[in-house]
Amino acid sequence: MIKIKPKKITIITLIIMILVSGCLSANQQETESPVEEKIEEDVVQEQPIEEQEPAQELQEPNIREFTITAKKYSFSPSTLTVNKGETVRISITSTDVAHGFAIKEFKINEKLAKGKETIIEFVADKAGTFRFYCSAYCGSGHGGMAGQLIVQE
């Protein structure tokens, strides 16, 4: 019987493992490359570049923006005109005291702190002329602090 030292068995086993893993690795690379090329060819053949549809661009909704100043006892500007279906974005700042901004038909009622910008956004989904007004008592002229939103068809 032939005696092999444990150190030699370990070395022989290690060499065999390296050879086997190297063969597997080389074999795996050979089989993957043609498959990847075939997939790329199929895609190009199915839909040539000139027939591909252009990528759809993300379109920002139709937004109408306004900047309003609120002060005793008026809004400036006091008339806003938009088209039905537009998104309305109002940036409003009170310059003197706390006020409010309300449009009943669009369920808007925001408090306006002095010197702080407030952003109000809604969709003008109803046509007509709508009153906006100060919804926070601001003094003797409070009742006349109003304007109009005109939503055209």
Average model confidence (pLDDT) across the chain: 80
d(CA 137, CA 134) in angstroms, rounded, equals 7
% of residues, the chain, pLDDT over 70: 67
Query: What's the mean pLDDT in 54-59?
Result: 48
pLDDT tens per residue across span 59-99: 456 899 999 999 999 999 999 999 999 999 999 999 999 99
Q: Which of residues 40 and 118 earns the better pLDDT score?
A: 118
Confidence of residue 43 (pLDDT cuts 50, 70, 90): very low
Instruction: Give DSSP secondary structure letters for 93-151.
Output: EESSS-EEEEEGGGTEEEEE-BT-EEEEEEE--S-EEEEEE--S--STTGGG-EEEEEE
Pairing mode, strands 74-76 and 63-71: antiparallel
Determine the residue type at 65. Answer: E
**What are the residues whose beta carbons fall under 8 Å from the beta carbon of 63, sequence distance 6 or more?**
86, 87, 88, 89
Q: How confident is the model at residue 16 (pLDDT cuts 50, 70, 90)?
A: confident
CATH match for 63-152 among 2.60.40.420, 3.40.920.10, 2.40.100.20, 1.20.1050.10: 2.60.40.420
